[in-house]
Structure formats: structure tokens, C-alpha cells
Amino acid sequence: MHIVLGGTGHVGSAAAKTLLGEGEPVTVVTRDRSKSADWLGQGAEVAVADVRDREALRRVLLKGERLFLLNPPADPSTDTDVEERATVAAIVDAVHGSGLEKIVAESTYGAQPGERCGDLSILYELERKLHDQPIPASIIRAAYYMSNWDSALQTAEQDGVVHSLLPADFKLPMVAPQDLGRAAARLMMEPVEQTGIHYVEGPSRYCAADVAAAFSEELKRDVKVVTAPRETWEETFEAMGFSKPAAQSYARMTAVSVDEGYEMPGNPERGTMSLQQYISELVQHGRKGQQVH
């Protein structure tokens, strides 16, 4: 049995669907019982548990052999670093004594030690904690999620604008959640002894200007990038509902990424979905949603 944490999110759902498509048994863990019906209809089992509840999560893990692990993002109105560290600790504690034979965990390009660096430091700490425990683990260092641009659909459609903290021409590795899910499923099915760090990105590197161009193509209108000056980054996050500590962490994470650049692994696994294809599907899905309502 494969246990999938974060099965109702972009990457976790793609991993679970891929495994089910391969005829593999899957249990999706969610804390929202209302999301069970769709997974049950697809042939998955569903376990309702809060990942911060160590004992409840361990009881779920005892029923499986392999685990796909995503550390769920904290509510941005909280101190996200504090909350996400607490979640990492709870999940790793739940793993102890679970009897699992293998773990596949999602991390990020640029994971590194530090304070107030958001995912870069939190996920680095997750990597180290998994390295220090006995269950074999494979780590996916994922490129920048293309789904981070989902919210830009509304402004691109209404105002012809894509807002970005990154410079318009700053190229970075991006990847579609579907490709990450497929990579995770493959690693889940690999022999136990195959472990290590795996970098996964899309077929090319892209910048915010490429995102605007993709929206322009799909929406049949001019779309431009509006870049927030660095001195306004914290203020920008706070305006989006982030707490002051969370805004500081996300602003610093952005600065580290821009100033130090993204990792350049020698031979990353490359997904097949291009940015244009991702944006095309995003626009089509958005239009279908408008028709439904």
C-alpha cells in the first residue's frame, strides 16, 4: 500500500492518480472528510488524519509500505517557519515505528540551512531529518512550481498584467505539478535500495516574461509583467495576507533565489509539460469554471 500525504494538492493528487493508473493500491491522507468521495470513486482508500497528530498519522502509516511525503504549507497569516517546522517534526516522529519500507519526500531546488528562508531552510531540515532516520528515503528537489502562476490568470485576463517579484527576464527552472507527481510515483515503485536526491524540472527554463507571453497567446490579448521593487517585497506579501514573520521569510527566500541563482544540476529529470501547455490548460480550466457558474 502506498500512503500519499497531500493527496488533495497539485503534486500529491498527481502522484496518487499515477499510482492508481499503474494498478497500485493507494491511501490518500486528508484532514477534510468532504474530499473523500472523489478518491473513493477512483479506487483509492482514504484516511482522515491531521499530520500534526503524530499518533493518528502513525496508525495510518502502519497500514502501508511506502510513503509519499509533502510538508503542507502553513497558513500565511501565521508564522509559517514556526508552523512548518512543527509539522516536519510531527511527521518525522510519526514515521518512527511505522514499519515503512521506503519514503519519497518532496523538497525544493536550493534547499539550504538558514533562518527566515521559508521553504529553502524548512525543507532542507526535512531532508536532514529523513537522512538521519533508518527508513530508506528518496528526495525530490523540485523546481519552481508552474502552479505558482495560477493566481495570475485573473489579473492577466482582467487587466493584462502578470505581477512578479522576480525580474521579468530572470530565468529559472519551472516544473508542472503533473510531472512532479509522475516522478514521485516512479520513485515510490522503485526498489527500496534506490535512494538519494533527484532533481526534477520542466523541459526548459522560463522567466516571468515567458509567463506573460504564454497568457498573451492563450487569452489573445497583450499581457505584460509588472515587477515589484525589492524594497516593497515584504509589504507586498503583507498586502496578500501574510503575517510579518511570514512576509520576511518569503521575501528573504526570494532574495536568496535571485541573488544566488538556482541550482544547476548536471542531469536533472525533465518533465514533458511545457509552460505554454500548462498555461493553456489553466486557461481552459478557468473558462470551464466560468461556464459552470
| pLDDT surpassing 50 at residue 288 | yes
Q: Which residue has the higher pLDDT, 135 or 289?
A: 135
In Å, how far from its chain's centre is CA 60? 22
Give the mean model confidence (pLDDT) for residues 116-145. Answer: 94
**pLDDT tens, position by position, 207-261:** 999 999 999 999 999 999 999 999 999 999 999 999 999 999 999 999 998 988 7
Q: What is the pLDDT of residue 291?
A: 46
**pLDDT tens, position by position, 237-249:** 999 999 999 999 9
Place of cell 510513503: 67
**pLDDT tens, position by position, 63-76:** 999 999 999 899 99
Tell me the three cell numbers of residue 21: 493508473
Of the pLDDT bands very low, low, confident and very high (cuts 50, 70, 90), residue 287 is low
DSSP 151: T
Q: What is the pLDDT of residue 293?
A: 37
Q: What is the pLDDT of residue 266?
A: 81
| pLDDT surpassing 80 at residue 108 | yes
d(CA 212, CA 232): 21
What are the structural domain ranges in the chain? 2-146+175-203+263-274
Q: What CATH fold (topology level) applies to the domain 2-146+175-203+263-274? A: Rossmann fold (3.40.50)
Q: Where are the beta strands (DSSP E) in the chain?
A: 2-5, 26-30, 45-48, 66-69, 102-108, 137-142, 144-145, 161-164, 172-175, 196-201, 205-206, 224-227, 269-270
Secondary structure class of 90 (helix, strand, coil): helix
Give the mean model confidence (pLDDT) for residues 132-148. Answer: 94
CA dihedral 248, 279, 68, 199 (to 10 degrees): -80
